Amino acid sequence: MTAVHLPDLPPVPEGRLPRRVPVRRILCLLPLLLVAVVAVQHRAVLAEGFAHLGTARWPWLLAAVCATCLTWVAAACTRQGAVVERLPPGRLLATQFAAGAANHLLPTGLGASAVNLRFMTVCGLSLARSSAALALYLLAEAVGRVGLLAVLFLAFPDALRLDGLLPDGAIGPLVLAVTAVVLVAAGVLALVRRVRATVVSFLRTALGEARSVHARPSRALALWGGAFAFPALQAAGLVAVGRALGLTVPPAHLAVAYLAATVAVALVPTPGGLGSVEAALVVALVAAGGPAAVATAVVLAYRIITVWLPLLPGALTLGALVRRKVI
C-alpha cells in the first residue's frame, strides 16, 4: 500500500491563545443591542406616538425636525467653545449626534459625557483638560437652561403652575438628600488629604481653562451662544409639535412648560429621562392650560421626533466612530 505524503504545515507557536473577538467590535454592536432593548421596553409608547404623528400637520412636524437637527449644531458649538484648541468640525458634529443616542441609553448625562470625554482625549487634550472642558460645558448648559427659564417666567409669570412638576412630598426628601450629599462631600474633602488635593488640582485646571476660553471672544461666543440656543431650540421643537397637533397653548407658555419640566426631571437620573420627561411634560402642559389628552399626544409625538427617530442612526454613528477610533 503506497503511503500518501502530506505537505508540511507551519508549526503552531507554543502558548498561542485562540483568536478572540476584538473588544472594539463588541463596543460597536453594543449600542444597537441597547437600542433594541429600550425599544422593546417602550413599544407601547412608540406605537401610540407614531399614531399621533399620522394625524399631525406635516409642515409643523418638519419645523420640529429642523429644530431638533439644529440642537446638535448648538451642542457642537458649545463643546468647541469650552476648549481653546480647534476641534475637527465634522467629527465634532458627528460626535454630538452619537452622544445624543448614548445619552438615551445610559443614565442622564453619563452617555454624552463619556463620548465627548473620549473624543477630546483622542483629539490630543489631556484627561485633566478634557474633564475641565466637560465641566465647563455642563455649567454653561445648566446656566443657559435655567437662565432662559427665568427670563421667560419673569416675562410670562402666568405661564404655568410649578407645583406638580415633582411628585407630592418629594421636595422634603430631595432637600434632605442634597444636604446629606453636600455634608458627606465636605466631610470627605476635610478628612481625606488625597481627595482634597485631587479636587483642588481639578478646580485649578478648570479655572485656568475657563479663563483661557473667555480670553478669546470667538470661544466665549460659541460657548454661551450654544448654551442658550440648545434649550431654546428644544423648546421651539415642542412648540412646533404643539402647533402640528392643535394644542391651544401660547408658544411662550409652551416654552416655559418645557424648560420647567426638563429642569425638574434633571433631578431624576433615568436613561435620557425616558419616562420621567414624558410625565413631567404632560403635567407642565396641562398646568399651562392644555387639555390632558392633547398634551399627552403632543408629548408622545415630540419624544418620537427628538428621541426615537434619531436613536437608531445615532447608535449606528456611535458604532462607526468607535470602529474608526474617533472615540
148, 159, 158: which is closest to 259 by C-alpha?
148
Total domains, the chain: 1
Q: Evaluate if residue 135 carries a pLDDT over 50.
A: yes
Is residue 131 a part of any domain in this protein? yes
What pLDDT is recorded for position 267? 67
Is residue 49 a part of any domain in this protein? yes
What pLDDT is recorded for position 288? 83
Is residue 77 a part of any domain in this protein? yes
Is residue 6 a part of any domain in this protein? no
Parent domain of 60: 24-166+215-323
pTM of the model: 0.78
Q: What is the 3-state secondary structure (H, E, C) of the chain?
A: CCCCCCCCCCCCCCCCCCCCCCHHHHHHHHHHHHHHHHHHHCHHHHHHHHHHHCCCCHHHHHHHHHHHHHHHHHHHHHHHHCCCCCCCHHHHHHHHHHHHHHHHHCECCHHHHHHHHHHHHHCCCCHHHHHHHHHHHHHHHHHHHHHHHHHHHHHCCCCCCCCCCCCCCCHHHHHHHHHHHHHHHHHHHHHCHHHHHHHHHHHHHHHHHHHHHHCCHHHHHHHHHHHHHHHHHHHHHHHHHHHHCCCCCCHHHHHHHHHHHHHHHCCCCCECCCCHHHHHHHHHHHHCCCCHHHHHHHHHHHHHHHHHHHHHHHHHHHHHHHHCCCC
Is residue 17 a part of any domain in this protein? no
Q: Which three cell numbers stand for residue 238?
A: 415642542
What pLDDT is recorded for position 157? 85
Is residue 95 a part of any domain in this protein? yes
Q: Which range (57-71, 82-96, 132-146, 155-169) has the least confidence? A: 155-169
Is residue 187 a part of any domain in this protein? no
How do residues 262-317 score in pLDDT, each as one tens digit? 887 776 655 555 666 778 888 888 888 888 888 888 888 898 889 888 988 988 89
Is residue 15 a part of any domain in this protein? no
